[in-house]
Amino acid sequence: MPACPECDAMIDIEEDQLEEGQIIECPECGAELEVVSTEPVELDIVSSGEAEDEGNIDEGDEET
């Protein structure tokens, strides 16, 4: 069972149904994760749910 690289939560997924390049969401922190390897399963952060929201706020502040 792979762990989320953002929050270290164990992600309960069917490892035999994963494909490289597939995007999944961490149920604990909401981070978007890309499957970079299937044997063994390795996940990489595409975007963090919290960081993405903060980024949108920062962009709005810069424009005003």
Burial of 22 (0-12, 13-18, 19+ CB in 10 A): middle
Domains contained in the chain, number: 1
Q: Residue 22 is encoded by which pair of tokens?
A: 């597939």
In a domain, 39, yes or no: yes
In a domain, 31, yes or no: yes
Helix/strand/coil for 45: strand
pLDDT value, residue 15: 87
In a domain, 55, yes or no: yes
In a domain, 5, yes or no: no
Kindly report the CATH number assigned to the domain that includes residue 34: 2.20.28.160
In a domain, 8, yes or no: no
User: Which of 42, 47, 4, 2 has the alpha carbon at shortest distance from 21?
Assistant: 42
Per-residue pLDDT of the chain (64 residues; tens, 9 = 90+): 899 999 999 999 998 899 999 999 999 999 999 999 999 999 999 976 554 444 444 555 555 5
In a domain, 51, yes or no: yes
Q: Which domain holds residue 57?
A: 15-63
Whole-structure pTM value: 0.69
User: Which of 24, 21, 5, 29 has the alpha carbon at shortest distance from 13?
Assistant: 24
